[in-house]
Amino acid sequence: MAPVNLADALLYEHLRHGCGERLAVWTAAGPLTYAQLADRVDEFARAFRASGIRRGDRVVLRLNNDETFIAAWLAAQKTGGVAVATSPALRARELAEIVIDAEPALCVVAADKCDEVRLALPRLHTSPVVVTAGAGHAHGGYATIGDLASGARRSDDVEVGSEDDLAILSYVSDVSATPKGIGHTARQILCAADAYARMVIEASPDDVFGGTPPLWFPYGLGSLLVFPLRFAAATVPLAGFTADQLLQSIGRCRMSLLFGTATAYRLLLQVPDLEARFDLGSLRLCVSAGEHLDRATSAEWMRRTGRDLLDGLGTTEMFHIFLSGRRGDVVPGSLGEAVPGYELQLVGESPAGPVGLRSGMLAVRGPTRGRPWPLRDAGTPDAGDGWSVTGDIVARDADGRYWFEGRSDGLIVSAGYNVSGAEVEGVLRAHPSVAAAVVAGAPDPVRGAVVKAFVAWKPEVTDGALALAALREHAQRELASYKCPRDFVEFDARSLNVASKIETGDGRLDG
């Protein structure tokens, strides 16, 4: 197949077909057409080229969830760069780990998100160019996109390389202490759109995509950027999330496709009389992914809104959802079946139980499997012949539907975010008062799970309350907010066994 550029496939192709005046993005200031979006992308592209970006250079994005992210991401594609989207919630230590590994030539930072970048730069081995974008006042004297673009010549050229060139690099948290990079090509990204968005949710140019997943997260990148633009549809990226804000946006922007996590749907269901107070008439389908959607939440959402809620399972390695429910055939609590183009199997499958379910670790094979960055094991077990083991334990019933049972690796999934227990433990153990630390996921009625920490103090610590306050401050300084422990339990270090688990007499976690 011929090489493809995502900026061309998602933007300029629509302009060539006369879609310039179609709505592309709902912004805080109002609607943005495809032609207006192209103007913003061109400004970023001029700035990127002026900074020296060449094909294959990594471009780190630390941007808010708005049209600026979309324009910068498309500009990275237009100029042949590899977009490395990062959460603006990351602290300096976390950001530095990604930048050191990705070795970007350019970092594009929201003007109001520069502080952690300034703290991260001294930790780096190289010095990427840093530019700011969006509203606000830049810190540290960094140039702005406007500064770089002002003297640069406009060019409509779209950089097209080889079929194997990476288009994006995503960092995934697994059970290890450091994030791992996974690269995807432009063709793989479009395959995800043509498999899931076209075949499962039946996206069309008349759709308006919206919801809660952030654009830096592959789930959000696909659902709220790649998928709508693939079909010349519109998208509504939200700068923040409150239940009322989202429900009001559904009616105001006439959203037809709603994407969220189970946590988001549980929060929406807490709004009294939501189905009567808000205009949900434009919705035709809802999707949940990023964390397990329980049967009760699924059934209650569909009962109150009258809209199907499809549960979906995907991984960063596969970019997006490859296992999903189907419109008109939703069974609450079930993950559904394979998305067209993907194959599933159970590894270490157990015999059928009394209710006829067979369970095992889920393995997937399909056209969107990414490559580790650089050439190293990215922490994803391989079952051989292109199969990837996801770490999810699932059951399969006689009708071919899959049901989530748990994780096999201890990864903590909180409100849709993957949290590495090993990373949090490493941060806590680095504090001078801590002798030992173990992290686990604790059940939470809204978030599904939250991070809980068990800590033992060094002998010289005499005031546990004071030490705990200092440890909390340390964790908040070193970890993104969704990784920070919500609860701390003190324990005697002598109860820590060789497997680094806190045990009581009955073998369970203490506290």
> Quick check: is 503 in a domain?
no
Q: Assess whether pLDDT exceeds 60 at residue 500.
A: no
In a domain, 58, yes or no: yes
Grade residue 509 by pLDDT with cuts at 50, 70 and 90.
Answer: very low
Q: What is the dihedral angle through the alpha carbons of 206, 84, 136, 124, rounded to the nearest 10 degrees?
A: 180
Maximum separation of any 2 CA atoms in the chain, in Å: 72
Confidence (pLDDT) at 39: 96
**Per-residue pLDDT reduced to its tens digit, 6-37:** 999 999 999 999 999 999 999 988 999 999 99
Residues 234 and 331 both lie in one domain: yes
User: Can you give the pLDDT at residue 504?
Assistant: 34
In a shared domain, residues 333 and 479: no
Tell which phi-psi region holds residue 471, choosing left (phi > 0), alpha (psi between -120 and 50) or beta.
alpha
Q: Which of 368, 396, 424 is the last residue of a domain?
A: 396
Q: What share of the chain is helix, strand, coil (3-state, %, to 5)?
A: 30, 30, 40
Domain-embedded: residue 502: no
Give residue 440's pLDDT. 83
| Contact criterion met (CB below 8 Å) for 13 and 34 | no
Q: Which residue did the predictor score with more confidence, 119 or 500?
A: 119
Give the tens place of pLDDT for each residue, 246-265: 999 999 999 999 999 999 99
Give the H/E segment covering residue 264. Answer: helix 262-269
Q: Tell me: the pLDDT tens digits for 66-78?
A: 999 999 999 999 9
Whether residues 378 and 432 fall in one domain: no
Total tally of structural domains belonging to the chain:
2
pLDDT tens digits, one per residue of 387-403: 999 988 899 998 899 99
| Residue 413, phi then psi, degrees to nearest 5 | -110, 110
Same domain, residue pair 125 and 220: yes
**Based on the domain organization, do 335 and 418 belong to the same domain?**
no
Are 463 and 487 part of one and the same domain?
Answer: yes
Instruction: State whether 293 and 420 are in the same domain.
Output: no
**Structural domain contains residue 190:** yes
Asked if 165 and 236 sit in the same domain, the reply is: yes
Residue 143 lies in a domain: yes
Of 364, 396, 428, the residue that ends a domain is 396
Same domain as 360, residue 277: yes
* % the chain with pLDDT above 90: 65
Q: Tell me, what CATH number does 211's domain have?
A: 3.40.50.12780
223 and 325 inside one domain: yes
Domain with 353 in it = 6-396
The answer to whether position 510 is within a domain reads no
Residue 161 DSSP one-character state: -
Reported as a pLDDT band with limits 50, 70 and 90, residue 350 is low
- Give 358's pLDDT tier (boundaries 50, 70, 90): confident
**For residue 509, is it within any domain?**
no
Instruction: Evaluate if residue 495 carries a pLDDT over 80.
Output: no
Instruction: Please tell me the predicted confidence (pLDDT) of residue 179.
Output: 84
Q: Would you say residue 486 lies in a domain?
A: yes
Give the C-alpha separation, 319 to 419, whole Å: 18
> In the predicted model, what is the mean pLDDT of the chain?
88
Q: What is the pLDDT of residue 329?
A: 94
Indicate if 426 and 490 belong to the same structural domain. Answer: yes
| pLDDT of residue 120 exceeding 80 | yes
Asked if 373 and 416 sit in the same domain, the reply is: no
CATH number at residue 481: 3.30.300.30
